[in-house]
A and B are shown apart, each in its own frame.
Chain A
Amino acid sequence: MNKKQKRVLYRIIISTILIIGLSVVFELTEVNKYLQAALYLVPYIVIGYDILRKAGLGIIHREVFDENFLMAVATVGAMLLGEYREGVAVMLFYQIGELFQSYAVGKSRKNITELMDIRPDYANIEEDGKLVEVDPDDVEIGTVIVVQPGEKVPIDGIVVEGNSSLNTSALTGESIPVDVTCGDEIISGCVNISGLIKIKTTKEFGESTASKIIDLVENSSMKKSRSENFITRFAHYYTPAVCYAAVALALIPPIFNILMGNPALWGQWIQRALTFLVISCPCALVISIPLSFFGGIGAASARGILVKGSNYLEKLAQTKYVVFDKTGTLTKGVFEVTGIYPDASFGTGEEAEKTLLKYAAYAESYSNHPISKSLKEAYGKEIDNEEVSDVTEIGGHGVKAVVSGKEVAAGNMKLMKQIGIKCNEPDKTGTIVHVAVDNKYAGCILIADIIKENSVKAIKELKNSGVKKTIMLTGDSKKVASDVGGKLGLDEVRSELLPADKVNEVEKIINSKDKNEVLAFVGDGINDAPVLARADIGIAMGAMGSDAAIEAADIVLMDDDPAKISLAMKISSKTLRIVRQNIVFALLVKAVCLILGAIGIANMWIAIFADVGVMVIAVLNAMRALRTKNM
């Protein structure tokens, strides 16, 4: 509890004791009515002075009709009608409710912000052999900072000394440690686990990943959802409407009574009108809806999904079309050797495969082409440069070299044709490297961009979450595209597209779909910015380090896992469900209580429950949005 709340708590305790004391005394002894009123004023002032002050200020500023005004009028009204104890008790009960609500809201807010807290508090700089803690804001680009085990990396940079593992869970939601060593780029927000490392900063604190993410998430609650705007608009009409209704309730029945020649009963009807006003406060809606969205956004960010606004979280649940970019999104975007096929004349079995790979890797060892890299990576062993000589690269064809005294040619069909070797193109998708040793065909190696482990699961889960159509767009050949599409179970594949065509394709789909259906585009953010912007929801993948992705997208997946999309959709649906529950619950209870209040069944106690009680329940319900354990 903060200071303010503690003060209210003391006031509540004091006035409770006073009320009980006074009631007991007045029960036991005869006390003059005026003296009773005067004595009851003491706890009333103790518990209600701030409300009365605010109500007064409100009247001066012509800002009537807020809660303070309502409570002041209601309790003062009760006191004037001679119900002193009621008047004080209503004020007391209202303050208890307010305290509980402010505590619950404060606690929820803290929970959510803690979940997203990756803000580094300091950076260590070495000065004269000693570590000095400085404000990360004051660290200039190019400064060497020290990160000890257990500390957060405060600023983006490059490791210049030391080895360690980093925990990226605060950024990605996955607690798989990443090993770093000299020369590796690391981003802020990660936690250093094992060893001491020195980092040369490459960005200012404000431009570093951690700061950007914090900024993004904090601003997300400013982009209001439709539900929130609805409530704002609703309150705009609702509050004056109930006020006029209350005035009508206070005036019309007594006047009617007078006209009919009956006693007017002013007191009774004014009291009902006041009760009516207390019930009507729209706070439960006003507070619980943003809180639910904020909780949903917080829960998502704890799982490595950054949502840039409540509006996107709201829309996400209605996603019916998901359009994917292929490379880097559904596939890893790196080439890997996926098959080695030695020719029968070269040999069979694992040994032959290894030798074939060795020849190819050696022959290509001088090249930096991605394909050569993947061959070297698959080979896995150190390349002995002594054994390679007479390397000739034939552009667009491949490489010829002498490896361990043997003439090796590695390249595509054209190269084989050029050196007069006949071979067949195998029926596989991907890039094929044919290898000839001493002018005899030795076999081929298949290199392909491989599908991410989670892609199949991701597509299946999207379907289960109610997505109508999954579509993949790619610049790759039709063969590769339909192969990937088939393996993943995508509904549609559109291939051989230039980057500009992707926007057109998405445009076409948007025009053909129903207006209420949402189209999400998922890309790796590097050259998809226009498409990310055009789609109803742009989801960028693998934001680790890519500023462009964070800028262009509405939702950013911090790791490369496409399965996070359906998780985000689930979080979105859950949040919306809670929002709807709260709207319906609050409006229903209010409506019932308003009617009961108008016909005189509900008293001030029920009125306060309808105000504060409903709000507390709605806030507690909103907090459920934070939980994503079983998703």
Chain B
Amino acid sequence: MKKTYKIEVDCAACALKMEEAAKKTEGVNDAQVSFMTQKMKVEFEEGREEEHVMKNVLKACRKVEPDCEIFM
């Protein structure tokens, strides 16, 4: 299950950090962040509830970049 989310992030290094943070979140198989298109593509583990996982992804991202936003 893959899904793409619109995000808001100010710098490329921060986007990299968000990607790392999202990848480490439980329930996420893989994640990619494109600073250029301001998008995050998340591949969920089988049988996970996206909404719940994404909440944790946002939490993890906020930790590394307080100003970021993920539009769900």
**A residues with CB within 8 A of B:** 4, 53-54, 57, 61, 63, 66-67, 102, 105, 109, 112-113, 218-219, 221-222, 232, 235, 282-283, 286-287, 290-291, 294
Contact = CB atoms under 8 A, between A and B. Distances in A.
A4 B64 CA distance: 20
Contacts of A290: 12, 35-36
Given A221-B36, A221-B37, A286 B13 contact: yes
A111 to B, nearest CB: 11
Interface in B13-69: 13, 16-17, 32-37, 39, 41, 63-64, 66-67
B34 to A, nearest CB: 4
Nearest to A228: B16
Given A222-B41, A290-B35, 19 more contacts: A53-B66, A61-B64, A63-B63, A67-B13, A112-B36, A113-B37, A219-B34, A221-B34, A221-B37, A232-B16, A282-B13, A283-B13, A286-B11, A286-B12, A287-B11, A287-B12, A290-B12, A291-B36, A294-B36
7 contacts: A54-B67, A63-B17, A109-B36, A221-B34, A235-B13, A286-B11, A287-B12
- Dominant SS at the B interface? mixed
Given A221-B34, A287-B13, A61 B63 contact: yes
Interface residues of B, number: 18
Contacts, number: 53
Contacts of A102: 10-11
A283 B66 contact: no
Given A61-B63, A61-B64, A102-B10, A286 B36 contact: no
A294 B12 CA distance: 13
B23 to A, nearest CB: 12
B11 A218 contact: no
Nearest to B32: A222
Nearest to B14: A66
B64 A218 contact: no
A221 B34 CA distance: 6
Interface of B: 10-13, 16-17, 32-37, 39, 41, 63-64, 66-67
- Give the interface centre of B16, B17, B37 by most chain A CB atoms within 10 Å: B37
Contacts of A57: 66
A527 B29 CA distance: 33
Contacts of B64: 61, 63
Nearest to B12: A287
Nearest to A239: B13
Given A61-B63, A61-B64, A287-B11, A219 B36 contact: no
Contacts of B33: 222
A113 B37 CA distance: 8
A54 to B, nearest CB: 6
Contacts of A286: 11-13, 16
Contacts of A221: 34-37
A58 to B, nearest CB: 8
Nearest to A219: B41
A375 B66 CA distance: 70
Nearest to A282: B13
Closest 6 CB pairs of A and B: A287-B12, A222-B32, A221-B34, A294-B36, A61-B63, A286-B13
Given A283-B12, A287-B12, A222 B63 contact: no
A283 B17 CA distance: 12
A167 to B, nearest CB: 25
Contacts of A4: 10
Contacts of A235: 13, 16
Contacts of A232: 16
Contacts of A291: 12, 36
Contacts of B66: 53-54, 57
A63 B37 CA distance: 25
B12 A218 contact: no
B16 A218 contact: no
Nearest to A214: B37
